Structure formats: C-alpha cells, structure tokens
Chain A
Amino acid sequence: MVEPGTASGAPSGSATSNAGPTVGSTEGSILTTNQWRDDPPAVEVVGITKRYGQVSACDSVDLVFHRGQIHGVLGENGAGKSTLMKILIGLVVPDAGQVIIDGKPSVITDPIDAAEKGIGMVHQHFSVVNALTVWENVALGDQMRLNPEAIRDEIGDLSRHYGLDIEPNAVVGTLTAGLRQRVEIIKCLRRSPRTVILDEPTSVLSPGESEILFEGLRRAVEDEGMAIALVSHKLDEILGATDLVTIMRRGKVVAHQKTSDSDAAGLARAMVGRPVALRSEREVPSSETDSPKRRPTKPKQEHASLEIDSVHANGDDGRVLLDGLDLKVYRGEIVGLAGVEGNGQRPLADLLSSLMSLASGSVRVDGKPIACGRAGAMAKAGISVIPEDRHDSGCVLEMSVAENLFLADPNLVARRGILDHRKMTYRAERLIERFAISCEGPDAPMWSLSGGNQQRVVLAREMAHHPRVLVAAQPTRGLDVGAIEYMSEQLRQAAAAGVAVLLISTELDEILDLASRLVVLSKGRIVGEMSREAVDIERLGLMMGGAVP
C-alpha cells in the first residue's frame, strides 16, 4: 500500500511537470509581481509546415501565444488547427519550421516532453480511458509515485477552483460526454501547465458549463499568467472568451486580429472565404414564412413515421435510462429533442440504432412494430442514425473512407456477398463530391480526415440509403460554421423530401433554428412539448432543468 504520510503533502519540486496544482498557493505572489507580462512569449511557432501526401495540413504557419492571453484559433474543418496543436504537444513531427518556448528554440519529442516544457493539451477527441476511474485517469502520465488520496484531494481543489465538479471515484465510461470532457480538462490543469491548448473543448459542454469553464480559464490567465490557445468553431465563444484571434484556412494563417476589433460575420467570412448565413441572423421559422408543404400533415397521416410508445429501459447497473418515453415524429417535420446532456439522449439514440433492448414499450415505423435490440432491425425498417460520438459508433478509423461509407449496408455495392470494388469507388467518389468531404480520395484511411470531415462521411453514409426516419444526435458537434450551414440545409432538405427527422441536440440554438416542433427530455421521459412559433424560452429552460411548470 502507499503510505499516506510520505506523499500526501503538496508535492515539492515544482520545476517538474507534475508539481500538482499550484492553485491558491502561487496566486498571491504572481499577482503582486506580474513579472510574466514582460517574459518572452510563452510559445512561438515559426514557419511550421506539415504535409500529408498532397494535403498541406500546415503551410508555413507563424503564430505567437503570449502569457496572460487567451488566443482563439478559428478555421474550417480541415484547416490544420489540430495538426498545429499536435505539433506543439509532440504528437506530430513537423516537416519544417521551429517552435520557440519561452524564447528558447525547442524540439518537442512527445507529450511528456511537452509537459516538462509547460505545455498541456485538452484534446478534441477524448483521450481518457473509459475503463479507469476519474482519479486514475487524472493520474495517468504522472512521473511520481501513485498516491490516490493526494490525487483525489487535488481533484477536489481543482474542481472548486475552476468550478468543474466531478466525482473522483466514478468510472469514466459511465459518465456523460460533458463530464468526460471535464476529466480531461482537470487532468490537463493539474499539471499546472504554463501554456494550455484546448482543442474544441466546449463541443460537448452545455452553454452553462462552457461559461463556467471560461470563467475558470480567465482566472488562470489573469492570476497565474497562463497562455491559452483555444481552438473553436463557435464564433460567440471566440468573441466572448478570447483576446486575440487567428484564422486559418487550408493550412495557412489568413487573418490575425484583436478580438475586440472583430465581429461574428467578419470572422465567418474570413474563415470560409465567402459570406455565411449565421444561425443567429436567420429569421425564426414560423408557419407564415415557411413553405406550407413543410408543415406536417398530421391529421391526414394515419401513422406517425416514427412512433415510440412508453419505452422503459435500464442500464446494466440497474439505472433507469428511459422512463416511459413517448414520442411521435411525422413525415416531413423536424422534431427537436431538447434537454440537458445525460437525460436519456444517448440511450434513445442507442435504441434507435438497435444497440439497446427495452424493458417495456414499443417502437413502430409507419405503424409496423420493430424488434428492439436486434442488430440491424432499426436500420432495416428505415431508421438512419447520425450518432453522437463518431468515434464510438460512428465510424471505423482504421478503414478507408469508401469502406466506412458502405459499412452499414454493404449490399449497396456488393453482388451476392462479394464487394464490387469499382462500384464502391465510383459511388464513394460521388458521395465525397456531393457531401464535399475533403480527403485524398475514397481509399484514404478514415483517421487521416479532420474531425469535421469524418462527420460528413457519417452523414453521407446515413443519407445514402434514403431513410424514412433520420435521427441526428448532436449532428453539428465539432463542425465549422460553413459545415453547420451545410448540415442544417441537409436536414431541412431531408424533411422537405418527406423524411421524419428527429434532431437530438443539447444546443438550444440549433433546435430553435431547425425544428418545427420541440419536445423536452428530462430524466428519460418527455416532459413537455411546444410548437416552434409558440416557444417560451423561459418555460423551456425550466422544463430542461426538470422543474416542469
């Protein structure tokens, strides 16, 4: 056993990367001297270039991250943001260029080395181990002796300091996406890095959670002189939280400006290279302005396209996941399922992907009951699902783009069980074109695509077999403004073509923008419904919070 006496105190030797949180203890001294303001920039990259085959992920990028500033990095999907950040953390070796840390030219060999040089990163894709507990994950990568008590205490301190509550003994795999993200952030902050890179940290957080995170980061920046690089697609977040913003396009820095001199439309234009219709600027869809044919013809339709009837489901551990959920989606309408993360969104999506069976209740498509939990039954009945976590269930990273496109239904490109490679390549090329997927070609491995382009592959795959019901779970998570515009348009078109669309989203904006009818999910059941025209945001908020008026 580990003797609590030996290491439970504040770890000494703060020069190492694992000096534990300096929360509180160093605040005062730094505040009084503010010496970091005169330091050389925390990190400076000069002429960084990285090529993958034909693609220039980074093309002689110059960038400076200063202490005491939050530096936003914006860019379309595939612009090279993650690649640049991975170079800083030592996961990718650049072809050319230099990284200068604290004024000293440095070569970063791997994440440990980066941590020793004071650079920490919160990754775009989860880098926590699901089978381990929260504190074990936080301790992962430590160089010192394992002391569970001390680590749990540190987690408690950090949670309080940054307002990120978490139970240290929970197994990470049982947590919601938002909480897993929190583990990752705490893990990074615990090493008390001087430079923190956050790659789309809020794509899985609720607006409230994001706000809390940014407050914490702002404190770290001002009190402790941290330098923060924030990669994000959310313009309001960049505008609200950063001091400086750099915009990348196709591997190049195309703009660099003070946040105070920027506005959303300008940033979006610089990012995409053309004007973009932003969600907030678009008109509220109402029955008058909408084309009448998009309104559901409820009374005429005998059966809802998708009919979920008082379903109950429990988790392996006996937890109630779905608790008498009733839901109907008619053809041609987009139903937005609002709710706070972890209230049954995931089980519902799992249910509709045939990944889960029910304790009771039924699911019907066009009036025909479906065998819940039998592999492929839902897909066969015409339900397509764009899953929430594309790495868990959305795609196979080791397989090619073409293979991923036809994974769900190989019969599209096979004859008598034998894959027709030519046909597959041809069809894949057309889908790649239609959905504007940026990749080297149908044979490019899925892992070589940027996050947003992986999501497009999933969308293309689900749309390829003309579903009757399309379930989109957080479909725009991690997408840039251009891609969000595109995805929204696709969902609208699908509905206009007579598909019943169920949009599961934790982003209220997205639901308000797209849905013609809203239902609210709380604790595994539908607690309220309102039409888009009659939306009462305040009441909606109360319902989402579980306080049904």
Chain B
Amino acid sequence: MGAIWDIIGNEVTYSSAMRFAVLLLFAASGEWVAERAGTLNISVEGMILAGAFGSAVSYDITGSIPLAILMGAFCGFLVSTIQANLSHRLPADQFVVGLTINILILGLVGFLDNVIEPSVDKASQATIPGLASIPVIGPALFDQPWPLYLVYPLVPAVWWLVYRTRWGLEVRASGEDPNSADVSGIRVNKRRRQTIYLTGLTSGLGGAYLVFGAVGAFADSIVGGRGFIAIAAVIFGGWTLKGSVAGCLLFGAVVSFRLSLPDQGYDGINTEFLTALPYIVTIVGMAAFAHRVRPPAALAKPFLRGLD
C-alpha cells in the first residue's frame, strides 16, 4: 500500500503517465471518429508504427523535428489509404485488412530498421511559464517535450468536427444507420474512408510523438500493442470523446504505474499482470457500464446499397 501512496504523491508519476496517455490520445481521437462512422479500425497499430518509423527516417535525413513529424503523419495516412480503400471501396473485410496491415507493417519496419538504422534525438523540453508550476499536475501537463502539446488542440478540434460540422453529422449518421444515410444522399463509404484517413493522420502524429516526445529513440518494438490499447480506450469510453479521453488517461496511468513500481523499489507485483491491467479494466468497465453505453449501431458492419 505504501508504494501506491508514494506513486500518487509523486509528480514524476503524473509526468510519465501523461507521456503514455498522450500517444493513446493521438491515436484514439482518430480511432474514435472512425468508429463513430462505423469502422472498427484495428490497423491503428500499424499506422502508429509507420508514423514512428517514417518520422525517424526523415529526421535522420533532414535533421528537422517539425518536418519529421509532418512526415510521420503522412506515413500514417499512407497506411490508412490501404485500409480505407480495401475495406470501404473494395468489399474486403475490415478486420482481415487491418490484421494484414499490422503484420505487414511490423515486418516491413523491422526489415527497413535493420537496413537504415535511423538515429533520432528527443525533442526539447518546453516549459509553459506559470502553468507548469501548478502543484502535482502542472509539470505533467505543461512541462513536457514540445510535440506533446500538439494533442491539446487536436482533441477539441476532433470534437468540433464530429459534433458541430455537417461532415460530422454525416459521419455519425453513417455509423448509426448507413441505409438511412444513403437514402438521404450521403456517400456512406466515402465518409467512412475519410474518417480512416483522419485516423491515419492522428496515429501517424502519435507515432512521431512517441519517437521525439516520449522515447527519443526508435526500435521496431516501440509501439508494442498500444494501438490496441487506444481501441480499448474508445470502447471503454463508451464511444464518447470524453470517455475515450478518460480511458486514455487511465490506461496511461496504468502503464506508467507498471514502469514506476520497480523504480520505487517495489518489485513484488507481477509486471505481466500490470501489462494486462488496461485490458482487464476495459472488460470490467464494459461489464459495469454496458447497459448504459451503446456502440454506434452499424459499427463494423460493411455498407452495401440494396439491403434496404
């Protein structure tokens, strides 16, 4: 019990929790939109990895972090074009496509990483004066490597897109009732593809952030299943953005908890158990809230005209 208090009282814990949570936030904000449009987009894992590797290589070549981050977003987007067009233009199954992409990217990146071996640096720390000195959470939120701050405008922007624009309305309609949306004159599969592109962009950004903001190095194991945790966060959040953000923060905390326990000199807790914790929390959360949350009615259902 003492260990837990040590951790809760420690600002470092919050900073490291935030670092993990932010990667999830990047990926989950796009994934959330894709799921609202009706795609359970599991290739988000591959998108993050592609973004991470692409940004690492481009930094190795150009030496510019901003450029590298842009490149990361672009690489994530490239991967998303494969997912989107195979599953929502051609009639391939979205899960089969997603699974294949994840395996493909992992293999490809592993191979290219050995050939290129990109070397990277960590982005500089940016302290926001004033705000950073708020006790306990100040450093976590406002004293971080600068790429982390990109997530702050991203989340509200995504919310605004989905709830305040015509595009967002059409996205939600596509995820709830594609037949009705179609009859209303909405190109359901086009909207769904676009949300996958968005996921590619945000996940690619997330990958770049992971390289420059969180780790400061690249390895092909750098993502390590966090794309799936991002999906779990969306589910945990009951397909609301608020809930998804809460899920990301919670899972970020759980991951950093696992890492900081040994640092604090406590190693009695089984780390495998802690690795599994986010998923356990998701399952428990879903069991507890299942009657109150409702996934988009057409989630993971392909849309073909004529099934009227």
Chain A interfacial positions (CB closer than 8 Å to B): 1-2, 91, 110-112, 115, 123, 125-132, 136, 139-142, 144-146, 187, 397-398, 447
Contact of B179 among A110, A115, A127, A132 (CB under 8 A): A127
**Are A141 and B308 within 8 A (Cβ)?**
no
Which one of B39-47, B88-96, B169-177 contacts A?
B169-177
How many A-B contacts are there with CB distance less than 8 Å? 70
B70 at the interface (CB under 8 A from A): no
Asked if B181 and A129 sit within 8 Å, CB to CB, the answer is: yes
With the chains together, A132 CA to B176 CA distance in Å? 9
Residues of A contacting B166 in the complex (Cβ-Cβ under 8 angstroms): 139, 142, 144-146
Distance from B189 Cβ to chain A, minimum over Cβ atoms (Å): 13
Which residues of chain B are near A187, meaning CB under 8 Å?
Answer: 184
Q: A1-B164, A397-B307, A398-B307 are in contact. Are A132 and B184 (CB under 8 A)?
A: no
B306 touches A110 (CB 8 A): no
Instruction: Check B305 against A130 for contact (C-beta < 8 Å).
Output: no
With A131-B172, A132-B169, A146-B165 as contacts: A115 and B185 at CB distance below 8 Å: yes
Q: How far is the CA of A123 from the CA of B173 in the complex (A)?
A: 17
**Min distance, Cβ B50 to any Cβ of chain A, angstroms:** 33
Give the distance in Å from the alpha carbon of A396 to the alpha carbon of B164 in the complex: 34
Check if B307 sits within 8 Å of A111, measured CB to CB. no
With the chains together, A126 CA to B179 CA distance in Å?
10
Q: How large is the interface on B (under 10, 10 to 19, 20 to 34, 35 or more residues)?
A: 20 to 34
- The residue that A140 contacts in the complex, of B160, B170, B307, B308, with Cβ under 8 A, is B170
Taken together as a complex, chains A and B put the C-alpha atoms of A398 and B303 apart, in Å, by 12
Q: In the bound complex, how far is the Cα of B139 from the Cα of A160, in angstroms?
A: 57
Name B167's closest neighbour in chain A (CB-CB): A146
Q: Is B183 an interface residue (CB 8 A)?
A: yes
Min CB–CB distance A454 → chain B (angstroms) = 11
B173 contacts across to A, CB distance below 8 A: 129, 132, 136, 140
When the two chains form their complex, are residues B308 and A146 in contact, meaning their CB atoms are under 8 A apart? Answer: no
Answer whether residue B125 sits at the interface, using C-beta atoms and an 8 A cutoff: no
Chain B residue at minimum C-beta to C-beta distance from A446: B307
A139–B164 alpha-carbon span in the complex (Å)? 12
Min CB–CB distance B296 → chain A (angstroms): 8
Whether the Cβ atoms of B164 and A2 lie closer than 8 Å is yes
A123 nearest CB neighbor, chain B only? B183
* A139 cross-chain contacts in B, Cβ below 8 A: 166, 169
> Is A447 a contact of B172 with CB atoms below 8 Å?
no
Residue of B nearest to A140 (CB): B184
Bound Cα distance from A141 to B176, whole angstroms: 15
CB <8 Å contact, A111 and B183: yes
| Closest A-B pairs by Cβ, 5 of them | A141-B184, A112-B185, A141-B185, A127-B183, A111-B185
Min Cβ gap B171→A in Å is 11
Contact A127 B184 (CB under 8 A): yes
Residue of B nearest to A115 (CB): B185
Cβ–Cβ contact B180 & A127, under 8 A = yes
For the complex, give the distance between the alpha carbons of A146 and B186 in Å: 15
Is B297 located at the chain interface by the 8 A CB criterion? Answer: yes
| A131 with B297: CB separation less than 8 A | yes
Q: Please give, as numbers and ranges, the residues of chain B lying within 8 Å of A115 by CB-CB distance.
A: 185
Residues of B within 8 A of A131 (CB): 172, 176-177, 296-297
Residues of B within 8 A of A129 (CB): 172-173, 176-177, 180-181
Which residue of the partner chain, among A112, A130, A144, A447, contacts B177 with CB atoms under 8 Å?
A130
Interface CB pairs A-B, < 8 A, 20: A1-B160, A91-B182, A123-B183, A125-B308, A127-B179, A127-B180, A127-B183, A128-B180, A129-B172, A129-B177, A130-B297, A131-B176, A132-B173, A136-B173, A140-B180, A140-B186, A142-B166, A144-B166, A145-B166, A187-B184
Given A397-B307, A398-B307, A447-B306, also A146-B169 (CB < 8 A): yes
A274 to chain B, nearest CB (A): 31
Which of these, A110, A132, A447, contacts B308 with CB under 8 Å? A447
6 A-B pairs besides A129-B180, A132-B172, A141-B185 with CB distance below 8 A are A91-B183, A123-B183, A127-B183, A139-B166, A139-B169, A140-B181
Q: Which residue of B lies closest to A144 (CB)?
A: B166
Interchain CA distance A187-B308 in the complex, whole Å: 19
Q: Given A132-B172, A132-B176, A136-B169, answer yes or no on A447-B185 (Cβ-Cβ < 8 Å).
A: no
- Write out the residue numbers on chain A whose beta carbons fall within 8 Å of the beta carbon of B183: 91, 111, 123, 127
Looking at the assembled complex, report how far the CB atom of B168 sits from the nearest CB atom of chain A, in whole angstroms.
8
Measured between beta carbons, the chain A residues less than 8 angstroms from B165 are 146
Quick one: closest A residue to B183, CB to CB? A127
Q: In whole angstroms, what is the CA distance A139 to B183 when docked?
A: 13
- By a CB distance below 8 angstroms, the chain A residues around B170 are 140
